[in-house]
Structure formats: structure tokens, C-alpha cells
Amino acid sequence: MAFLSSPPLGFSEAVGMLNALPQGLLAEMSQDVIAFLQYQSGFINTAQHEMSIQKIAPSISTPINAQSCINALTFIFRSAATEKSSAEAFAKQLKNSPLFSESSAAVLRQVWETEGPSLVALPKTALSVGELVSMDWKLGVAMSSNGCKALNVPYVTLQLKVMESPGEVKVHSIELSLKQFQNFAAQLKDMSNALETV
């Protein structure tokens, strides 16, 4: 199965943005994504990449969203690693895809040739995203703390059950301030609206 055969929604637009990036910036972004997938980095600094795009490529007529580019690169490298794609098979898929420009395909191919084997060597579960099984929440109020006797600050605790692999469900708990929870709820509503229009 080809790793580019079932791309996520918005993938072709994101690849269009990747094609517009200078090769050095695309290579840097790709290296950050690889480091993230190899658990060498806990996050990818999207804001830094946004600034680099504005600084290095201000003349690009197409607006470029760094997060979309990072999402596309993550999909490409994660899918190729999951399928244990060789350097030749990776290059062939990029070449056969009408989405990639020659220059961006060359950068991605070079990154995969050097970093791909280490990603392919990772266990398959290390590359999986997991499936959200359920989400529970509860509202609480912090009454006091060591530094304040009358704190009275509301918070929300989320409990996410995620299926990491078949038969293995892990529970993750997150505590959010009321403002953070409202932002999270608004983002969920936006995602729901976007899915309804598809």
C-alpha cells in the first residue's frame, strides 16, 4: 500500500505550501518533524517556523501556514515509517504524486535517505497516534493553596481514554483553568462544524 494513498483533509493545500518554501527551510522543518517522531523533541516550535517563513520568504505570494506544513510532513514521515518504506519506494511515491514539486521532492527524499532508516527501526506502536475512546470531565474549585488562603479558582479536569494499541487503553488526565477549557471547547466546536461541512 502506498503511504500517500489516503492523505488527510487539506493535505494537497499543505503540500502546495511546502512547494513554495525555500529548500533550506523545508529541510529544517523536516528535521524538526523527524526529531519529534523519534522522541528527541517534545514539540515542534511552530511560532519559530512562522517567523522564519516571514523572514526568509516574505516575497512568497501564497500565504503559508507553518502548522499545516508541519502536519503534512508529520503525515508523510509517519506513514512512510509505518509502512517501512525504503528510500527507493519513498522517492518513487513522491515522483509519482502530482502534488510535489521537483525541488520539494528532492529535499524530502534526501531527508528520508538519511533519517528514514532510524524511523523505520522504531516499533510500530511508537508511530501510532492512538484512538480517543472516551473523554470525561469534571468541574472543581481550588479553595486554597500554600500561597493563598482564599483562592476560590475554578478548574476543569479532563480524563481521556486513548487506545494506544489494540486492547491497550491508557488514561490521561489534564487539568485546565476555566479559560483554557473554554478555549478547548471552542476548538472542539470549530472542528465539529468543519466536519459537518465536509
Tell me: the pLDDT tens digits for 31-69? 999 988 888 877 788 888 888 888 876 666 556 788 889
- pTM metric for this prediction: 0.64
Position with higher pLDDT, 161 vs 126: 161
Position with higher pLDDT, 63 vs 6: 6
- CB proximity list for 29: less than 8 A, separation 6 or greater: 21, 49, 66, 69, 70, 73
Say yes or no to pLDDT of 177 above 90: no
The tens digit of pLDDT for each residue in 140-156 reads 887 777 777 777 788 88
pLDDT of residue 108: 94
**What mean pLDDT comes out for the span 173-179?**
86
Task: Name the average pLDDT for the chain.
Answer: 83
HEC string for the chain: CCCCCCCCCCHHHHHHHHHHCCHHHHHHHHHHHHHHHCCCCCCCCHHHHHHHHHHHCCCCCCCCCHHHHHHHHHHHHHHHHHCCCCHHHHHHHHHHCCCCCHHHHHHHHHHHHHHHHHHHCCCHHHHCCCEEEEEEEEEEEECCCCCCCCCCEEEEEEEEEEEEECCEEEEEEEEEEHHHHHHHHHHHHHHHHHHHHC
* 116: its cell numbers: 528514514
Say yes or no to pLDDT of 198 above 60: no
Say yes or no to pLDDT of 123 above 70: no
